[in-house]
Amino acid sequence: MFTLHGNGVGAGIAIGRARIIHRPGQEIPKYNIEPEQIDQEVTRLADGIESAIRALQTIKQQIPAEGAEEVNAILDAHLLMLQDPMLSQEPSSIIRAQGINAETALQQHADHLEKMFNDIDDPYLSSKSADVAQIINRIQGELLDEQGSLTAQPEGKFDDQIIIANDLTPADTIELTKHRIGAFITNLGGPISHTAILARSMKIPAIVGLHGAIRYLHNGDLLIIDGKRGVVLVNPDEAALITYRRRREKIVSRIQEMDALLNAAAETLDGVSVSLNANIGLPEEILESVAQNAAGVGLYRTEFLYMNRETMPDEEEQYEVYSHVLKQSATPVTIRTLDLGADKQVDGGRVSDTITTNPALGRRAIRLCLHDLSLFKPQLRAVYRASVHGETRLMIPMMSNIDELDQLFVLLDEVQQELTSQGYDFDPDIPIGGMVEVPAAAISADLFADKLDFLSIGTNDLIQYTLAIDRIDDEVNYLYNPLHPSILRLIKITIDAGKAANIPVSMCGEMAGNVEYTRVLLGMGLRDFSMDPSALLEVKRQIRLTDTAKIEPKVNMLLKTADQKVVKQLISEINE
């Protein structure tokens, strides 16, 4: 048994077997094989070669007759190489002699062959080394289960499977929901990346930024994942299994205890009433928001509807989905317009073609939408049309320029006129709000507040842009600090601007769902929170234990200090 550490996501505990999802071009795992498992490893190599042969034969059958001759000749040559017993003999000897895994042995053999070819002073023969490399890659792909990607797996329940990957995109993570896996671990990634946010909302414990996960973990390893502590126990002994099974039961009973708060008011000890809303990403999550008695949906991330598909959802499809969400909710739903770009690419769609040098600072979110009206207008039309099915609010992500709002309002007028002339019913008074996620918007929040019906603070991006730390880069994750004085001040400026303009200010970044910050935010005057539904009751509990009058002076001191020791002391006093 040994332990590995990364950034934990989600409070849960999962116990299951490792399943490595390998992508072509990734680092090949290297590990030792126990003497009694050597024969099995040699057989695994032979099976890998067999599978590569079968895969190539299938390809051969599928090629169209036209022009097949040359292609067939190449495939036949590759098949001959694969079927040559020499190909498995040397790597098998390496496995036996060095006690290492099949992939590493095969790679050693491949490196040796490549060197031999390169040393031949004949351009035709040395060009053949490319064929050998292709053959070896094909076998590596079979050994590493590259074909066994999640999409290739039937849908179903795999809660005893712990997926290990170098990295997962938000689109991959959505794919995981269909398979209801137990947990996932990635080499890369930060805890406020969209991948991590999705894991939280799916209630899957995860560990991100665990460098070496691919290297140290093997298919079939028994793992315990502690999402809260960011710890992985590899091949745990019986005592650890017993301890963690107990902990898992405790977490489940804590969730049940919390249910007692479902119908309690979100009100502080001194009678301050707070609105607690849910963040949702997938339409079906509306049920979780309703189940947790949320005051409404403070953030519906619509971009996930655009992922894992070949074509964009059209107006009709969006209308159906938004209508469905609104019908399920008796309370307001804040539909955020598309926030594609940066780490949220659609995979296979047209937006992925436009990756710029720094996507987070590029044509993302409202910038992308205003640039591409064929993307934006169908969404706006769908939202207005769906508004007849429930209380709808429209929210714009990543605003940074007042001009963007002016353009938006022209567009909204146009959309409303079109819908009217086409005979559609809609609510013409949908509140229009904007997200404060860029420091420029926070510093000039008063100017934005004058034009909008509400503001919502997106701390995930606000922290990323203010502290200049990429939210998906775990190497700078240590700098992620919601209590940095600049962040607290920007939040305060935004809350005060909302008050002065008499419009509500909400917070929908991850900071809003972390009980450690609930009192600080209440002390700064925040009265509207939106978070993953699973965090709602914990935050409600904290609100009910808070006296805002008592904490306000300490929060004011917090805004004036840069000394992190003093910050720590003040936070512990505020939270005690």
> In sequence order, what are the beta bridge partners of 232?
4, 225
Rounded to the nearest whole angstrom, what is the least distance from the CB of residue 510 to ligand PEP in the complex? 7
Cβ closest to ligand PEP, residue 11 vs residue 441: 441
**Considering the complex, what minimum distance in angstroms separates the CB of residue 195 from ligand PEP?**
11
Judged by CB under 5 A, the residue of 461, 474, 510, 528 near Mg ion is: 461
Applying CB under 6 A, which part among 65-73, 74-82, 213-221, 453-461 lies near ligand PEP?
453-461
* Whether the Cβ atoms of residue 364 and residue 395 lie closer than 8 Å to each other: no
Of 340, 311, 325, 435, the C-alpha closest to 382 is 325
CB 434 within 8 A of CB 396: yes
Among 141, 227, 296, 509, binds ligand PEP (CB under 6 A): 509
Q: How many residues bind ligand PEP (CB under 6 A)?
A: 11
DSSP for 117-165 reads: HHHSS-HHHHHTHHHHHHHHHHHHHHHTTSS--GGGSPSS-EEEEEEEE
Instruction: Using CB under 5 A, pick the residue from 458, 482, 498, 523 that binds Mg ion.
Output: 458
Residue 367 found at the interface with ligand PEP (CB under 6 A): no
What letter does residue 66 receive in the DSSP assignment? T
- Which of 288, 404, 437, 528 forms a contact with Mg ion (CB under 5 A)? 437
- How many residues form the binding site for Mg ion (CB under 5 A)? 3
CB 465 within 8 A of CB 484: no
Residue 437, interface with ligand PEP (CB under 6 A)? Answer: yes
Cα torsion angle, 326, 332, 338, 340, sign: negative
Separation in Å, CA 141 to CA 39, 95, 173, 348, 554: 21, 18, 22, 22, 58
Q: How far is the CB of 463 from ligand PEP (least distance, A)?
A: 8
Minimum CB separation of residue 343 from ligand PEP in Å reads 9
> Does 190 interact with ligand PEP (rule: CB under 6 A)?
no
**Short-list 540, 551, 453, CA closest to 275:** 540
CB 60 within 8 A of CB 75: yes
Tokens linked to 531: 């978070």
* Residue selected from 138, 301, 381, 519 as contacting ligand PEP according to rule CB under 6 A: 301
Measured CA to CA, the distance from residue 55 to residue 142 in angstroms comes to: 9
Site for ligand PEP in 96-125 (CB under 6 A): none
Which strand ranges, in their side-by-side order, compose the sheet holding 181-186? 2-5, 231-234, 222-226, 13-21, 158-165, 181-186, 206-208, 7-9
Dist. CA 494–CA 501, nearest whole Å: 11
φ, ψ of residue 250 to 5 degrees: the values are -60, -45
Measured distance CA(479)–CA(467) in Å, rounded: 8
- Cβ closest to ligand PEP, residue 190 vs residue 390: 190
Q: How near is the Cβ of 301 to ligand PEP at its closest, in Å?
A: 5
Residue 433: beta bridge partners? 395, 454
Please choose, out of 283-291, 461-469, 516-524, 550-558, the segment that lies near Mg ion by the rule CB under 5 A: 461-469
Give Cα separations from 207 to 102, 167, 242 (angstroms). 27, 11, 21
Distance in Å, CB of 458 to ligand PEP, minimum:
3
CB of 460 to Mg ion, least distance (A): 5
Among ligand PEP, Mg ion, none, the one that 110 touches (CB under a kind-dependent 5 to 8 A) is none
* Cβ closest to Mg ion, residue 349 vs residue 458: 458
Please tell me whether residue 335 binds ligand PEP under the rule CB under 6 A: no
Which of the ranges 17-25, 90-98, 288-296, 452-460 carries the binding residues for ligand PEP, by CB under 6 A?
A: 452-460
List 162, 232, 307, 508, residue binding ligand PEP (CB under 6 A): 508
The beta strands (E) that lie in 323-413 are given as 333-336, 392-396
Site mask, Mg ion, residues 172-211, x = CB under 5 A? ----------------------------------------
Backbone angles phi, psi at 277, to 5 degrees: -115, 170
Q: Which is nearer to ligand PEP, 301 or 385 (CB)?
A: 301
| Closest chain position to Mg ion (CB) | 461
Task: Find the shortest distance in angstroms from Cβ 397 to ligand PEP.
Answer: 6
By CB under 6 A, tell whether 339 contacts ligand PEP. Answer: yes
User: Which are the catalytic amino acids?
Assistant: 194, 508
Work out what residue 508 binds among Mg ion, ligand PEP, none; the CB cut-off runs from 5 to 8 Å by kind: ligand PEP
In the range 460-499, which residues lie near ligand PEP by CB under 6 A? Answer: 460-461
Please check whether residue 297 is in contact with residue 329, taking contact to mean a CB–CB distance below 8 angstroms: yes
Binding site for Mg ion (CB under 5 A): 437, 458, 461
Binding site for ligand PEP (CB under 6 A): 197, 299, 301, 339, 437, 458-461, 508-509
